[in-house]
Structure formats: structure tokens, C-alpha cells
A and B are shown apart, each in its own frame.
Chain A
Amino acid sequence: MWVKAVEIIVSPILAFVIGLFFMGLARKITARIHWRYGPPITQPLIDVIKLFTQRSVSHGLLFDMGVILSLAGSIALVLFIPFGGICPLESSGGLLVILYLMLLIPLGLALSGGEGANPNISIGISRKLMLSLGYEVPFLLAVLAIMTHYHTISAVDVVRAQEGFRWALFSWPLVLPGLAYLMILPAMLGLRPFEVVQAPQEIASGPMVEYGGKYLALVQIEHALAVFVTIALFVDLFLGGASNPFFFFLKMCVIFLLGMFVNAVFPRFRIEQAVRFLWRWPTALAFVGLVFTLLAR
């Protein structure tokens, strides 16, 4: 009971710290690839604290509530994700709840942005939703391949089934959906070449454009948690999770670095190109993988 309570408190904090660390790491690595020195790795944390002390503007109740809903959804989501042996709410609905709680994050931001009524927000949100539809197709196929192969809807069971280096990414036929998931990770994380939603040079950060001060701080935290969840889910489903948080963190770092390298050297797709790409190669891979999974059993 007490262990559970501690886990419930600790896991969102861990997710927050790791997510912010990744965001700092991202800036550092990109800077080094671009032959710059880059900001200190704690810069995102400093930014969040700084933003809290700044003034902000609001456009109404839903403008506030949408941000809160989005962040609350991502905190709740963290509790359902196994993190190296820690999973506070493991028997409450499993992967299906995870898939559905993931809806709350874009939905909350979209509702909040809707009340902002800024053309850049509208464009950004419509791009975000279209891009989500783009990557959800291969993503759901990949998750379904995992659920069908291990015959469970619980993320903890999936991790348990991969104990002893029987990682899904290195087993036939799950390697196909695994590769598909790797290909869509930049899209899920909002990295280049799929950085169409924020596209700072084009639509001035899109959905973020009206946020300032504490709103921006909360959205940053939400983004950090989303980065954590997306990568952690991949590690759980395809890299066999880990028996303790440290190894889990190492696996996450490897995956995140891969994403960063792609981000640093690629230009940006247009939204149609992005969706078309997502519906072509990753979807084909995941689809074939799911067919093989179904035939294998």
C-alpha cells in the first residue's frame, strides 16, 4: 500500500525530470551538430521556473482549462506506463486506457487553442490533428501486433513476456512493427522532419503562439511528459522494458539520441508529405508485421 503511494508520487516527478533532461539534451546535441556550444543542460528547467514568474494573458475559461486538462491527462497517463518495474496503476485497463488517455493531450491543447482564435493556432491545430491521424495508423497497427502476439492488453504483461533479452524488436515478426514505430517516433515527438505543428519560421509555433508566462510553462511540462511517455512506451513494448529504472532510462536515452540525430540534419516536410509518408512506409511495415503475427499464432 505504502509502496504504491510512493510510486504514485515518484513516477510523475521522475517523468518530469527525465522529460526536461531530454529537452535540455536535445538543445545541447543539436547545438553540437551545428558546431555551436549550446545552452546548459538545465536550461528547460530554468525556463519553466522563469516563465512562472512572468506575466501572461488569458482569453477565457476554456483557454485555461484546456491547458490544465492536457497536463492532467499526461500526468495520469504516466501512472499507467511501466517504468522499469514501477507501474502504479497496472491493473486498471492496460494499453487500451493508455491509447485513450493519449487522446486527452492534443484534445486539451486544441480546445484551449480554439478559444485563442489566432490563425496560427488554427493552422497549427489542424496540422497537429492531421499529423496524429497520420502516425496513429502505423502506431495502432504496431501496438495491435504486440497485443495480438502476447495475447494481452496489459503493458506490464508485455514487459514480463520479454524478460531475459527476448526483446520484441529483435524477434520475428515483431521487428517489422518495431521498425515502423521507430520511423514514426519523430512524428510523435514533433521533431523534424515532422515538425509541421510548431514550425516556428512558418506559423510562429502554431498552437503555442498565444501562450505566455505560466501557460507556456505548463505546456513545456506537458511536452516533457509527452516525450517521456512516447519513448517509454516504445521501450516497454519493443525493448522489453527493464528490471530497474536506471536501465530503463539508458534505453530511453539511446532511442532519444536516434531521434535527435534525425532531427538535427533533416529539413521539414509539408503536412501532406508527412501524412503521405506516414501512411506509406511505416504503415506498410506495420501492416505486414501484423499479418505475420496473426499467421504465426
Chain B
Amino acid sequence: MSPEILLSVAFVGAALTYILGRISSSLRDVFSVLLSVALVAMVALMYGMSGEEEFYMGFLGLPLVLRYGTLQWLFAIAVSSICALSTVFSLSYMRGKERLNFFYFSMFLVEAGMLGVVLSGDLVSFYIFWEVMSWSAFLLISYNRGPALAAGMKYIVMSVVGSVAMLVGILSLYATYGTLGIPEVASHMASASSGYILFTLIIFGIGFGIKSAIVPLHTWLPDAHSEAPSPFSAVLSGVLIKMGTYGFLLIMYVMVGIKAFLELGSGLYSFHYILCWLGAITAVIPTFIALLQNDAKRLLAWHSIGQIGYIILGIALGTSLGIAGGVFHILNHATFKALLFLTVGAVEYRTGGVRDLNSLGGLIKRMPLTFVGALVGALGIIGVPLTNGFVSKWLIYKTLILNRHPFLTFAAFIGTWGTLLSFYKFLHNIFLGQLPERYKDLEKAPFSMQLPIAILSLAVVFFGILPGIPLKVINKIGVSLGFEPLKVSIWGLASETGALNTLNIFTAVLVAGVIVWLIFRAGMKPVPVPQDNNYAAGSYIPRDRYIYTAEFYSPLFRMIRPYLRDVVDEFYMALSKGVRRTSDKLRRIYVGDVGYYVIYIILFLALLIALKIWLKLW
């Protein structure tokens, strides 16, 4: 399967979805599901192939090239699968909303853009697809109007800043080397001065950093993720922000190369070490900010930033274990974060758009499968053993410890505890505790929502117990980027300084669980009683009065809240307010009366003449 056909199908399919939607909405639904599944199948068929093909000659004298290999395949399969699952999820989530044709069209346009970014083999087509992706994402973020418009505006302003930075980088590379093919640039970069390499890394780093939301470039993300429609939040958080990390991999290890990258600067001031620290900060502070949130999607959004921190920590360290952990975490975060957003979407769908953690509760009784999905997703993001998140975090921790970075490891560990606290709150406030009276007759989520949730839950557990399957592919990527191969087995990996064997962990927990369960069964059968039976000892409790899940960690909040202001966001907002105020003053010059403009022109000419006479400038 050639990538050319894949991309044509994706783009033409997007347009067709819109056209079919004008004819009949059910036709559009069927077609969009078929299209998204077909894209997954087509990407899957590309497994193991690698190559390059030109699809357009002579764009300003530059050939536009598509390039594919294992790295590209891994990202492409993640993109297409997550998009397919959210498309299926959208079927019922979006039913009855307006502008549906537009919604599906934009969804597929984002997907096509992302596939294009991943598969492009030169920087011009990279930039074009990047912009397609960014702008169509903007359309979807502001789909809900209202506060979503402001969120979308924030996103697109930051995104444009990133694109401009990237464009400057691309133009500079073109001016220096006269070519923009990625392998050609890479071969030239090998002999570049370290100053120029640093410039390239920083200028592209701004673009990719904004997209992947690294602190201090993260401020668009919490608003955008929480305001977008939930299926798109899953795509946004699952794969779209990963395009930034793909960009980092591309610039750091494909274009600059490991050796030049790691030798940039020295000791504490080396570039990769500073990037690691940015990753560590990104892993800790947003996670604790997430703890303070009361909006379910906002909580997840802040955690997206936190998890990006782990990914950056892994890939910036520049060791084979680190790169494997980082890339694996990209894949894992795509599965469990998409899963979590979809479960929140299902809850939102059934409760009529409620996301406030303080007004939900007890939904486990009404939506059991959604709860299981949320639980698995939460275990994955915490990194409990036997989920995929554990394996990737294990790899990152191990390489950090063995390379003597205990403080970075500490940051990552504490981030995990912050994640545990906030995800317990998430699960407890939505699914556990008392069921409010108004949700007593809630139905469980429809099948088209349960299916993606079930598939993603299975993926989280499957990759956690058999991490060898994805790790084999990731190992190939590491080798193709020039890292030493790891000794991967199906249960994890073997090495001299401490192996990982998920089979042992799995068997131990499973057997212990079965034994405990048998002991449990052997005891007397428990009497099922309503929740407040014990507590109230049979007397009447007024319903919906006691919401003791609100302010769950309030003593802790009182201690840490003063330290957790998003200073960066405040700075950007002050900056934008300042710009707006100055622009507003400048605008007053344009009064709309032609007479004034004639006076401006005459004054300007007078100024020029005066300069000519007195200063003799030219």
C-alpha cells in the first residue's frame, strides 16, 4: 500500500463525507465508519515497508516527498486507530447536534492532516500538512461555540506562533542548504556548527513544544481540551498533541542525529539535559494543577500536559531505554487518555452534558462498563503494574536511575502520586459514592460508545501484560534512529542491570487474587444492603444533601494551592491584553474621514522633505 493512495483516500474521503451528508445522514454515518476502518486497514498493510516517493515535482523547484518506515508506521497506526474509535463513538455522541456534516468533514481532515505530517519526507509538505492539521483542529475545538470560541482562539493564536517559528526554521534551512528533503538536510546537518544546530533545535522546538504543550508553552491546552466535543478531545489529547513529540523525534534524532544532539553544550547546561528538566517540570506541576480541577475534562486535560512531560523526559534523555520508554508512552498515552475522554463523553452524553465532578456520583450502578473503562484508563495513567503505562514508565525510570538523574526520577515519581490522587478523585466523584436522585433512572451508554471503550480498555491491559509486542516494533525504531538494540522478549525485557518480567508480576497478582477470592468465597455469604443502611442505622437520610465528595482534598489544597498558579498563562493573558490595548490606541488614527488621511500623507511627505534637507540621508 503506497502512502500516496492512503493520503488521497483520506482527503477525498473527508470531502465525500461532507457531500454524502448533504444527501442522507445515515449514509454519511455508514460511510464515515467504513472510511475510518479502511484507513486503519490500509495503514496496517504498510507494516514493515519502508521507502520514499515523490508525489509532486517542482513546488518552487522543490520536490514534495512522502517517506515511510517503522517510526512513521507506528504513529500512523496510532492516529488511524484512535480516529476510527472516536468516529464510532461520535455516531451516538453527536446524534441530534447541528452541523454534523461539517463535524465529520473536519474530523477526517484532521486525520488526513496528521497522516500527512507523519508521512511527509520533506519539510515543505510537512509544513503544509501541519497547517491543515492545525486549522482543522481549530474548527473542531470551537465547534461548540460560546466559551469554545475563546478556547479555539487561544489555541490558534499559539499555534500560529508555533507555525511561524517553524517556518523561520524551514526558510533558514533552505537558505543554508538549498534543499528541504529530510535525509538531505540530515546529511548537511552532520557538518553544521553547534550554534546553528542549537538555533534549529530551538526554533523548531518552539513549534513542536506548542503543539505538544510543554511547560511554558502549554496554556492553550486545558481550555481547548475541555471545550472540544468529547470524541475530538480524545483525538486531540490522544494523537494530535503527539505530533509535537513526533516532530521532536524528527528534529532531534533524524535531522540532527544522536551524537550531535547529545554533545550540544556540556554537563548541566547541555541542551538535552535542559529539555529533560522541562519535561520533569511538565510532569509535576500540571499534574498537581489537575488535582485542583473540578471539571472532569479539564482534569484530564491538565494530565495530558503532565504525561507529555514523561514522554519528553524519555525521548530527550537520548538512551535506548529512554527512547523506547518515551515512544511506548506516546502509544500508551494515546490509548488510555483517549479511553478516559471517551468515558467522560459517555457520562456527559447520559447526564446531559454534566462534567462537574461535584454534582455527579454513584454512576457505577447505572453505567458499569463505562466505569470499568474509566478504571482501566485511570490504572493505566497512574501506571499500575499490568497496564501498559507501567511498562513505559518503568523503562523511563530505569534509564533515569542508571544514568544518575535521581532528581528527574523523583519528579517523575511524585507526578505519579499526583496522578493517583487526582484519578481517585475522578473515579470517586463520578462513579462511586451516592447516586443522586436525578440520575436514578439513567441508562447505560449505547453500544457505539461501549465498543470503543471496551476495545481501548482491552488494549491498555493487553499491552501491559504482553509489552513485548509493541516493544519489538519500538526497538526497530530505536535502531533506525541509531540507538543500540534492546533485548526485548514478549514479557518485557532482559538485561544485565535488572530485567522486567510482566509475566511474573501478572501471575503473582492473578494467583494471589484467585487465592484471596477463594478464601473470600469460603467465608459466610455477605448480605447486600443499601449504602446508607449501616451509617444511618435504618433512620431516614435526606437524599442529595450530603455531598461529601466535594472539596475532597481540601486540607491539602489549602497547603498547595498558593504555589500552583499558572503563572505562564497569566503572563500570556497580560501580554495579549497589552497588545490589544496598544492596538486599540493605534486604531484611533483611522478616523474614517478622507480629509484626515490626506493630512497624514502630506505630513509624511513633509517629514521626508525635512529629513532630506536637514540630514541629507540620500
Contact = CB atoms under 8 A, between A and B. Distances in A.
Contacts of A122: 428, 433, 548-549, 552
B516 A218 contact: yes
Main secondary structure of the interface of B (DSSP, over half): helix
B512 A72 contact: yes
Contact of A58 (B499, B501, B509, B526): B526
A91 B500 CA distance: 7
Given A57-B534, A101-B385, A104-B385, 17 more contacts: A57-B533, A58-B527, A60-B364, A64-B526, A73-B512, A91-B498, A91-B499, A100-B390, A104-B509, A114-B432, A132-B417, A136-B417, A140-B414, A151-B404, A210-B534, A213-B524, A293-B406
Contact of A140 (B398, B410, B424, B529): B410
Main secondary structure of the interface of A (DSSP, over half): helix
B520 A93 contact: no
A125 B364 CA distance: 19
B433 A100 contact: no
Interface in A30-59: 52-59
Interface residues of B, number: 72
A107 B528 contact: no
A137 interface: yes
A96 B397 contact: yes
Contacts of B404: 148, 151, 294, 297
Contacts of B110: none
B527 A76 contact: no
A75 interface: yes
Q: Nearest 3 CB-CB pairs, A to B?
A: A114-B432, A214-B523, A58-B526
A218 B384 CA distance: 22
B255 interface: no
A60 B501 contact: no
Interface string B389-424: 010001001100110101101100110111011001
A64 B523 CA distance: 12
B515 interface: yes
A275 interface: yes
Interface in A128-175: 129-130, 132-133, 136-137, 140-141, 144-145, 147-148, 151-154, 157
B420 A103 contact: yes
B562 interface: no
A264 interface: no
A92 B394 CA distance: 11
B427 interface: yes
B534 A118 contact: yes
A104 B510 CA distance: 13
A265 interface: no
Contacts of A151: 402, 404
A262 interface: no
B251 to A, nearest CB: 30
A126 B359 CA distance: 18
Nearest to B530: A59
B520 A218 contact: yes
B501 A119 contact: no
A79 B508 contact: yes
A293 B509 CA distance: 35
Contacts of B353: none
A126 B365 CA distance: 22
B382 interface: yes
Given A57-B534, A60-B365, A145-B406, A130 B553 contact: yes
Interface in A57-97: 57-60, 62, 64, 67-69, 71-73, 75-76, 79, 89, 91-94, 96-97
B609 interface: no
A109 to B, nearest CB: 11
B546 interface: yes
A207 interface: no
B434 interface: yes
A55 B402 contact: no
B309 interface: no
A123 interface: yes
Contacts of B513: 68-69, 72
A110 B421 CA distance: 11
A136 B383 CA distance: 16
Contact of A76 (B383, B492, B512): B512
A253 interface: no
Contacts of B418: 133
Given A57-B527, A117-B532, A272-B555, A64 B504 contact: no
Given A56-B527, A96-B397, A148-B406, A126 B534 contact: no
A87 to B, nearest CB: 12
A141 B25 CA distance: 58
B529 A107 contact: no
A133 to B, nearest CB: 5
A275 B401 contact: no
Contacts of A148: 401, 404, 406
A144 to B, nearest CB: 4
A239 interface: no
Contact of A52 (B364, B433, B523): B523
A99 B394 CA distance: 11
B610 interface: no
B414 A136 contact: yes
Interface string B425-444: 00110011110000000000
Nearest to A12: B512
Contacts of A97: 385, 394, 500, 505
